[in-house]
Structure 1
Amino acid sequence: MKTTSFAGRLLGTTSLVVLSAAAILGAQHPAAAQTTISNGIYGGGSTLSSLALRQLFDCYAGTTVAGDGQSFSPAFTIAPPSPNLLPTSCTQFSTPVEGMFAAVGAGNGQRAYIANDPHQLFRGSPDSAPALVRKPSAKPPFRDTANPNFKSYPYPRLDFATSDLPLASSVSSLTTISFSNFLPSTNWQNTLLIAALSKSTASFNTASVGAPIQVPAMEVPVAIAVNTSNSASGVTWTNQSALSPNTQAGGAIQLSTAQLCAIFSATVTDWHDTSTMIPYLDANGTQQFQHFYDDNTNGTLTPVAYTSGRLPIKVVYRADDAGTSYILTNYLANLCPLLDPTGTYNYKKIFTGVGIDGSTMANLPSSKFSRLLNNIKAVKASDNSDPYDVDDDQERPDPRWISASGSNHEALKIGTDPRFAGRIGYLSADFTQPYAQTATEEIAGTTISAAAPLSASIQNEALRIFGVYHPGQTDVTGTAQNFVAPTPDNVAQAFSGLAAPSLGGSYNAWNIYAQRYAVGTVLGGVDYSNLSVIGIPLVSTSDYALTGASYVNVYSCYADASGTRVPTLKNWLAWFYGGSVSALPAYNPATSNASNPGYDPNVAQLIRNNGFHELDPTWATNVLGVYLRTSTTGGTQGSIAAYNPSGAQTDGCQGVSGGAK
């Protein structure tokens, strides 16, 4: 059975290629009839959700698209996951709709969305023009060469964007830098270099596109990826907290909140460290101290250093604007300062930015990991990094912080190669084993592949409250507890602590990161007042603490001269969100639509197969009611609508002229 490579599932987000997109709707399956593709949905943004989105579009079409390389699984199961494979039931129904998605990163997706310009779907974060921006990868194809309607890039329009960080809280703050005057201006798929000669400030134009819409699409865990291979220089691991097999989700190592705060603040910089004392909180919320390696006891075993000799901790991070960086820094900004109430370790300054040079404004959480590095430098005068380490795939001598562009690039730079032993980073779960098997990158026409990295299990606050500071330790009920793995069920546990938004209100009501604990919320001796609910989930000992959401951003009003654009988009969204609501009638892709959404179990199966969890059914029901079913009361302007050039405007087009291009 043929399966596509790791990069093949990623839609081409390689390190030297910036405009990555793929012909998404395809799956090779036995004796299935070819569907005639007549309509397209064009999107771009987050690499985090791109693998799952590709498979969802494949299933929606139930057809083969040239060069896709996907295979259907004869016996699809959610556990264990089956990377690259789709349920055979996806072939039973089909629609004449092809989805195209440019996996360019969350920040770049937001730029394209705010500017309403598909030309902004390129990789990298240029600061000025003229600038070179990166082109699409060759593998997998970033357009469907077999379909005459979808042969070129950049896309003719933008129907939706995805991001794992929230939009700015006010419409007036929805601004971006828009690049223009590209050379060449068309057919980017056929050129080696693309230059952006001009830039300008662009703002979200409500008069043209209506009210902004952001709704969560999936509940996502960000996995801590760790290379626990014995090093090429002969240093071996004595890790006692690994699970068996270590290839399972969270199986590589178990790390406490105290250890993660120490690693990401450069407080501890070597896996062999046996001297540094780091702070943690006990079940009463009292600050205590332990050696860095003390968490490697599995509850009862004699503590030993993680490695037989010196092995630097090297953090691989996203250099581009990334939703995974936002989710990670949201976790660190909320939890780490609690461990250091006296400021001895400068955790508040490092993880929030507050207090640096007298600043009272936080600069974290952020999609820019560089802000954390700048905070470390400001506090410690150095982040111990090599200033020559840049994202050029040429490893510099002993860099402490290693940059990567895109999720697949980061996965490849962590991997399981003994040369990279000791590296740690953060990736959405679908870029780690068992949800992915290989990491692949194409550089200058050469394909580089390696095993996908393993992931860690991490401590959550409920375990701390129950007195579990080390993996395997017995809690107050007498039960031995390991830390929590990045799995679909565990991320759903964390997400369940959030309150679903009402049917009214603006787009910002859907911002999960804005939900805060009420003043006076105290548990286990710790005051969580005004801290992020999703940043510190407190539902159960099964909460996966590094949890966030991947958002879909759409417009309230679209230009739709053919009369097919809006129905096509809304019907796909209705099928997608209906897949979270099992109480709906059982409809397939061909019968589910915005007026009568139905439940297709394939949606949840595909999302979970990538290590994510489908959206909570209450949230999904509200999305259907506010934005997809035709109404005059939902949201701020009603459901998504098409602009009527010759008549009255309804729903999302009320007071709008033209609609999104």
Structure 2
Amino acid sequence: MTTKCFAARLLGTTSLVVLSAVATIASQTPAAAQSTISTGLYGGGSMLPSLALRQLFDCYAGTTVANDGHSFSPSFTTAAPSPNLLPTSCTLVSTAVEGLFAAVGSGNGQRAFIANDPHQLFRGNPKSAPTVVKRPSINPPFVDTANSNFATYPYPRLDFVTSDAPLASPVSSLTTISFGGFTPSTNWQSVFAILARTSTAATYDPTTVGAPIQVPALEVPVAIAVNTSNPVNGVTWTIQSALSPNTQAGGAIQLSTAQLCAIFSATVTDWADSATLIPYLDKTGTQQLQHFYDDNTDGTVTATAYASGRLPIKVVFRSDESGTTFILTNYLATNCPLLDPTGTYQYKRIFTGVGVTKGTTVTTTANLPSADFSNLIENIRAVKGDTDHDHRDSLAVEDDSDRPDPHWISAEGSNHEALKVGTEAFRAGHIGYLSADFTQPYATTVSEEILGQTYAAPAPLSASIQNLNQRITGVYHPGQVAGGHAQNFIPPTPAGAENAFRSLNFPRPPATYDAWNVYAQVFGPNAILGGVHYDGLSILATAQRAGAYPITGASFLNVYSCYADASGTRVPALKNWLAWLYGGSQTNLPAYNPATSSAASPGYDPDVAAIIRNNGLHELDPTWAQAIQSQYLQPGNSGGSATAIAASSASGSQVDGCQGVTGGAN
């Protein structure tokens, strides 16, 4: 994709306001020579969008932060992803705002948001104190050591968080455990572990921070990462469904819905399996059986076992509460029980938890989808027993040996999971789930801090996945012919995520925060697709359109409707950056101009979408983006919009989202 230079974007508009600003912009200081930035935006949470957010912040400011590994280059392109490169057009002007993001996982992001406390932005999954937690992931950097204004951690405040799992609803259910009594109390950037001595229950308080705002920011495909290297024991792979090159998105292997359900239920635990029959649905909705290896074909060759000898399938899962886990389990909970209508494989119990016996009680409430992968493993244990399924580990999760059992391997965060899936021979057969930007070709390497040491390795490869549209048209295995041509399964790409999103219904404003929960959009009564009833099931997890990637979700931005802002710079900086982000979806807007564009008058910058797609993700649908800008970013008439983000007034009446609020978010 060719990105126009900033001047060309300005000259391409008929807006007199924009044209008149050219002289002003030309006189601005180039990014490379700008004075030290002092205004900041502070966020944290989900690791899924963290790499893209770091690059977006770099582009917005026209400069990179120390050690983020990015550079502005004319070689930037989205035609073939160009990892770690940014458009040179980002540097033509600069916005004196530096954004920082702490990648700690969706669960910890929500913890910080509910408690309105940046000290909750740590890695780990603690339940009570005392406990040891860890500083954020090292990739992307969470501080800027080249700028003393942003060189220390924890952050002085919390402006936003991201999560790929939805907030609980209603507001009264927004509760968490907040930790305190930290040692050390400051300068966490200098240590890899922090002791939390106290914990207490915390509840979201709309009287002090305003209404919670949850809006989708990105459309995100979750890739199935697979290590297809030949192991060191002499066993060899025969992967006949791989694409060439296998480093392209979805190129490592092609997997069907039937195979994913078999793998994540521990029905099949070895890549060499040539005996196990697993269920799938044909285009009429009738259950059929196939061998696990029947999908190991490109349509021109006879299917064969994937491995020449024993090669255990080792599932790498997130031990922390993860939005990526939520997206995966939303897909599994929606699709897998349908393959097993008679309960022979016990998929309903495994993938929803309904019918599982706990003690003497049979569970009637679903525990999946969930941000906690342990729910799935506990369901499997309840159905199949502890053998090979007890994931409880007395050792530190960061001990990189493959314990505690041969099938499940825990990892803390996306970078850690990517390392444990790996590409090395000694990790052959590992499979996991990661946002596309942690896999090739969108990333070349992944890195993480483990027990105080930094480890880096090549990014893992990803699989193409069968979608519902293919099942309905009779494409059960890779290479089968439908519509007059052979079809491969669907790769995890920006286009695949966008095609999945197109099946959703747009929530009409004014919308409450839970109305933007894309996972809660379900099929109505008597919804039949390919002979199967989908009543009450997730629309997003079904991928019914051609080309739709089936394991797709959203990265949400969580912000408050009311902020404390004594300096008068915090709220404008936040709202203007959000307007730039969402404006990047709307090609009908005038060209973005930092001299005149704002939350009240947004502009379109093509670099936004280019950077997002270069990370394997997709910008938000323009209709959704415009509605979010209108409802939350643009001030109400006479300050009367209860949903618009506002700054708390120290004296006088409150306006917009600060009405009825005392103080605002810290």
TM-score bracket for this pair, using the shorter chain length: over 0.9
| Residue 407 (str. 1) matches residue 411 (str. 2) | no
- Could you say which residue in structure 2 is the equivalent of 1:486? 492
**In structure 2, what is the Cα distance between the partners aligned to 1:127 and 1:658?**
30
Distance 1:633 1:402, change over 3 A: farther
| Residue 370 (str. 1) matches residue 377 (str. 2) | no
Tell me how far 1:132 sits from its aligned partner. Answer: 1.2
Whether the 8 Å CA contact 1:630–1:638 is kept in 2: the answer is no
- Could you say which residue in structure 2 is the equivalent of 1:613? 618
Distance 1:238 1:83, change over 3 A: same
**In structure 2, what is the Cα distance between the partners aligned to 1:136 and 1:289?**
45
* Stretch moving more, 544-553 or 69-78: 69-78
Tell me how far 1:636 sits from its aligned partner. Answer: 7.8
Give the secondary-structure state (helix, strand or coil) at the position aligned to 1:326: helix
Per-residue CA deviations over 1:37-88 (Å, capped at 9, x if unaligned) read: 1311000000000000000000000024344432112132112111111001
**In structure 2, what is the Cα distance between the partners aligned to 1:289 and 1:599?**
51
Superposition pairs of residues 47-196 of structure 1, within 5 angstroms: 47-136=47-136, 141-196=141-196
- Could you say which residue in structure 2 is the equivalent of 1:574? 579
- Could you say which residue in structure 2 is the equivalent of 1:458? 465
- Could you say which residue in structure 1 is the equivalent of 2:540? 534
* Stretch moving more, 517-526 or 425-434: 517-526
Whether the 8 Å CA contact 2:564–2:664 is kept in 1: the answer is yes
Distance 1:129 1:542, change over 3 A: same
Tell me how far 1:499 sits from its aligned partner. Answer: 1.1
**In structure 2, what is the Cα distance between the partners aligned to 1:550 and 1:295?**
31
Tell me how far 1:440 sits from its aligned partner. Answer: 2.0
Superposition pairs of residues 292-371 of structure 1, within 5 angstroms: 292-357=292-357, 358-371=362-375
Distance 1:442 1:568, change over 3 A: same
**In structure 2, what is the Cα distance between the partners aligned to 1:113 and 1:123?**
15
Whether the 8 Å CA contact 1:35–1:61 is kept in 2: the answer is no
Aligned mate of 1:624, from 603, 624, 629: 629
| Residue 443 (str. 1) matches residue 433 (str. 2) | no
Any unmatched runs of 5+ in structure 2?
1-29
Whether the 8 Å CA contact 2:51–2:140 is kept in 1: the answer is no
- Could you say which residue in structure 1 is the equivalent of 2:519? 513
One-letter amino acid matched to 2:72? F
**In structure 2, what is the Cα distance between the partners aligned to 1:232 and 1:503?**
57
- RMSD across aligned positions (CA): 1.8
Distance 1:635 1:71, change over 3 A: farther
**In structure 2, what is the Cα distance between the partners aligned to 1:329 and 1:42?**
30
Distance 1:137 1:160, change over 3 A: closer
Whether the 8 Å CA contact 1:587–1:600 is kept in 2: the answer is yes
- Could you say which residue in structure 1 is the equivalent of 2:589? 584
Give the secondary-structure state (helix, strand or coil) at the position aligned to 1:32: helix
**In structure 2, what is the Cα distance between the partners aligned to 1:328 and 1:83?**
25
Aligned mate of 1:499, from 488, 502, 505: 505
- Could you say which residue in structure 1 is the equivalent of 2:23? none
Whether the 8 Å CA contact 1:504–1:636 is kept in 2: the answer is no
Give the secondary-structure state (helix, strand or coil) at the position aligned to 2:308: coil
| Residue 469 (str. 1) matches residue 476 (str. 2) | yes
Tell me how far 1:632 sits from its aligned partner. Answer: 5.0
- Could you say which residue in structure 2 is the equivalent of 1:551? 556
- Could you say which residue in structure 2 is the equivalent of 1:418? 425
Give the secondary-structure state (helix, strand or coil) at the position aligned to 1:317: strand
Whether the 8 Å CA contact 1:632–1:638 is kept in 2: the answer is no
One-letter amino acid matched to 2:366? A
Superposition pairs of residues 639-650 of structure 1, within 5 angstroms: 639-650=644-655
Tell me how far 1:410 sits from its aligned partner. Answer: 0.4
Give the secondary-structure state (helix, strand or coil) at the position aligned to 1:278: strand
Give the secondary-structure state (helix, strand or coil) at the position aligned to 2:83: coil
Distance 1:97 1:295, change over 3 A: same
Tell me how far 1:157 sits from its aligned partner. Answer: 0.4
Whether the 8 Å CA contact 1:100–1:143 is kept in 2: the answer is yes
Whether the 8 Å CA contact 1:626–1:634 is kept in 2: the answer is no
Whether the 8 Å CA contact 2:592–2:605 is kept in 1: the answer is yes
**In structure 2, what is the Cα distance between the partners aligned to 1:527 and 1:237?**
38
One-letter amino acid matched to 2:566? A
Tell me how far 1:342 sits from its aligned partner. Answer: 0.4
Distance 1:297 1:633, change over 3 A: farther
> How high is the sequence identity, in percent, across the aligned residues?
68
**In structure 1, what is the Cα distance between the partners aligned to 2:242 and 2:408?**
24
Distance 1:635 1:177, change over 3 A: farther
Tell me how far 1:315 sits from its aligned partner. Answer: 0.2
Using structure 2 for the length normalisation, give the TM-score. 0.92
**In structure 2, what is the Cα distance between the partners aligned to 1:465 and 1:390?**
45
Superposition pairs of residues 592-607 of structure 1, within 5 angstroms: 592-607=597-612
Give the secondary-structure state (helix, strand or coil) at the position aligned to 1:332: helix
* Stretch moving more, 431-440 or 382-391: 382-391
**In structure 2, what is the Cα distance between the partners aligned to 1:581 and 1:179?**
41
Whether the 8 Å CA contact 1:364–1:371 is kept in 2: the answer is yes
Per-residue CA deviations over 1:224-283 (Å, capped at 9, x if unaligned) read: 000011111111011100000000000000000000000000000000001000000001
Distance 1:514 1:632, change over 3 A: farther
- Could you say which residue in structure 1 is the equivalent of 2:438? 431
Per-residue CA deviations over 1:535-586 (Å, capped at 9, x if unaligned) read: 1121x22010000000100000000001111001000000000001111111
Give the secondary-structure state (helix, strand or coil) at the position aligned to 1:348: helix
Whether the 8 Å CA contact 1:226–1:422 is kept in 2: the answer is yes
One-letter amino acid matched to 1:39? T
- Could you say which residue in structure 2 is the equivalent of 1:199? 199
Tell me how far 1:392 sits from its aligned partner. Answer: 2.6
One-letter amino acid matched to 1:222? V
Tell me how far 1:383 sits from its aligned partner. Answer: 5.7
Whether the 8 Å CA contact 1:488–1:613 is kept in 2: the answer is yes
Whether the 8 Å CA contact 1:632–1:639 is kept in 2: the answer is no
- Could you say which residue in structure 1 is the equivalent of 2:264? 264
**In structure 2, what is the Cα distance between the partners aligned to 1:84 and 1:190?**
26
Tell me how far 1:35 sits from its aligned partner. Answer: 4.1
Whether the 8 Å CA contact 2:138–2:447 is kept in 1: the answer is no
Distance 1:58 1:489, change over 3 A: same
Tell me how far 1:138 sits from its aligned partner. Answer: 6.6
Whether the 8 Å CA contact 1:278–1:292 is kept in 2: the answer is yes
Give the secondary-structure state (helix, strand or coil) at the position aligned to 1:316: strand
- Could you say which residue in structure 2 is the equivalent of 1:287? 287
- Could you say which residue in structure 2 is the equivalent of 1:16? none
Using structure 1 for the length normalisation, give the TM-score. 0.93
* Stretch moving more, 299-308 or 218-227: 299-308
Whether the 8 Å CA contact 1:51–1:430 is kept in 2: the answer is yes
One-letter amino acid matched to 1:74? P
Give the secondary-structure state (helix, strand or coil) at the position aligned to 1:219: strand
Distance 1:162 1:275, change over 3 A: same
Distance 1:138 1:454, change over 3 A: closer
One-letter amino acid matched to 1:534? L
Per-residue CA deviations over 1:464-501 (Å, capped at 9, x if unaligned) read: 000000000012x3321110000001110000111111
Distance 1:156 1:281, change over 3 A: same
**In structure 2, what is the Cα distance between the partners aligned to 1:138 and 1:214?**
26
- Could you say which residue in structure 1 is the equivalent of 2:664? 659
Tell me how far 1:210 sits from its aligned partner. Answer: 0.7
- Could you say which residue in structure 2 is the equivalent of 1:246? 246
Whether the 8 Å CA contact 1:211–1:636 is kept in 2: the answer is no
Tell me how far 1:452 sits from its aligned partner. Answer: 0.7
**In structure 2, what is the Cα distance between the partners aligned to 1:523 and 1:576?**
36
Distance 1:419 1:191, change over 3 A: closer
Whether the 8 Å CA contact 2:129–2:179 is kept in 1: the answer is yes
Give the secondary-structure state (helix, strand or coil) at the position aligned to 1:334: helix
**In structure 2, what is the Cα distance between the partners aligned to 1:81 and 1:191?**
35
